[in-house]
Amino acid sequence: MAVTAFALAPQINGFVLVAGNVAQLRRSHTMSAESLADRVGWSVDAVHALEVAAKTDLSLDDIDALAEAFEVEPSALFA
């Protein structure tokens, strides 16, 4: 079981990185959670869940939608 937990650690850290970057980008764009939710087609609860790394089922389409909402390249969400 320790191997499984270790294998998941990089993925979990990636979600934490994206979560922090989304929260930072939203603040720097002075964008409300409601506005971001509208732009990406999510509920406000889903935006809040992402920002605390509780939403971990992001698709490539989600990454693209977030990047478009912030007018950045998708790679900026992982920087």
Identify the pLDDT of residue 23: 93
- Selected from 3.40.50.460, 1.10.260.40, 1.10.3860.10, 3.30.390.50, the CATH number assigned to the domain covering 2-78 reads 1.10.260.40
Mean pLDDT by 10 residues, the chain (79 residues): 42 78 94 96 94 85 95 92
Identify the pLDDT of residue 3: 41
Identify the pLDDT of residue 62: 93
Domains of the chain, residue spans: 2-78
Q: What is the model's pTM?
A: 0.80
Query: Considering just the CA atoms, what is the radius of gyration of the chain in Å?
Result: 13
CA 5 to CA 25: how far, in whole Å?
A: 30
CA 78 to CA 11: how far, in whole Å?
A: 12
Spatial contact of 70 and 76, defined as CB atoms under 8 Å apart: yes
